[in-house]
Amino acid sequence: MSQLFVAFLGGDPAPGRIGEDHEVVLVVADDVKAARAAARAKWTGVGRPHVDAITPISVVDGHRVQLAHTGEADTWDIDTTFEP
């Protein structure tokens, strides 16, 4: 049965950077092995990524997460405003 996973990816540093780059991605997969592969495929950084951490997500802040296939493409509205 498919479930939602969140993965913390690491990868080669971009040119001019000292430390490795990181991204957090969400994927739907049947198991952790498939989720790792799907997460690495979403890497937008330089070079080949690795998975630093991954976990299935079924409950967030007391709310159950349920999946429903829509056939729609992923959409992201990312707020890049920094709030210390």
User: CATH code at 21?
Assistant: 3.10.20
- Tell me, yes or no, if the pTM score tops 0.85: yes
pLDDT tens profile 32-63: 999 999 999 999 988 899 999 999 999 999 99
Residue 15 lies in a domain: yes
In a domain, 57, yes or no: yes
The reported pLDDT for the residue numbered 67 is: 95
52 in Cβ contact with 9 (< 8 Å): yes
What is the span of the domain harbouring residue 57?
A: 3-64
Type of residue numbered 19: G
Domains contained in the chain, number: 1
More confident residue, 34 or 15: 34
Distance between CA atoms of residues 49 and 8, nearest Å: 10
Q: How far apart are CA 10 and CA 34, in angstroms?
A: 18
Residue 59 in domain: yes
Mean pLDDT over each residue of the chain, to the nearest integer: 93
> Could you give the CA distance from residue 20 to residue 26 in angstroms, rounded to a whole number?
20
For residue 83, tell me if it sits in a domain.
no
Residue 22 lies in a domain: yes
Alpha-carbon dihedral sign for residues 7, 13, 15, 16 = positive
In a domain, residue 19? The reply is yes
